[in-house]
Amino acid sequence: MNISLGVDHGALGLREALLEHLQANGHTVIDHGTHSADSVDYPDYATKVCDDVNTGKADCGVLCCTTGIGMSMSANKVPGIRAALLHFESEAALTRRHNNANVACFGAHHTTPYEACRIIDTFLANKFEGGRHERRVHKFCQFENQQSS
């Protein structure tokens, strides 16, 4: 699977762990960085990852910042993106199966590298169920399209 990864200066430890873990499990990672502790603007990295997902360059995205909140808010402003801030494996499974999430977000202050690796494995292992969930996802996608017109 092709996975686009972007982090800010507050999540370098998660970047290293996720990058190594994903590559070790056979995934191709498009690494947008950041690569240093110098302060950067997280929306810049969210945009790069979301562009990869929307253009099909990546099958899904992973974004990390200090809390995960800024990245998830930034990503969810991009039409076509369904980003979820994840803390537990159960959230990862359900957001993929029920919400058709295509970007996973993590907060370095609340998620250890070990937890993030387990959660991303769950995220990637699950697929959208469709069915009754399809109409709900369709509704919020319609709302998104109305707002961007």
Confirm whether 110 is a catalytic residue.
no
Gyration radius (Cα) of the chain, Å: 14
Query: Of the residues 50, 60, 64, 65, which is catalytic?
Result: 65
HSE-CB of 6 using CA atoms within 13 angstroms: 26
* 65 among known catalytic residues: yes
Catalytic residue, from 27, 87, 98, 110: name it.
98
Which positions are catalytic? 65, 98
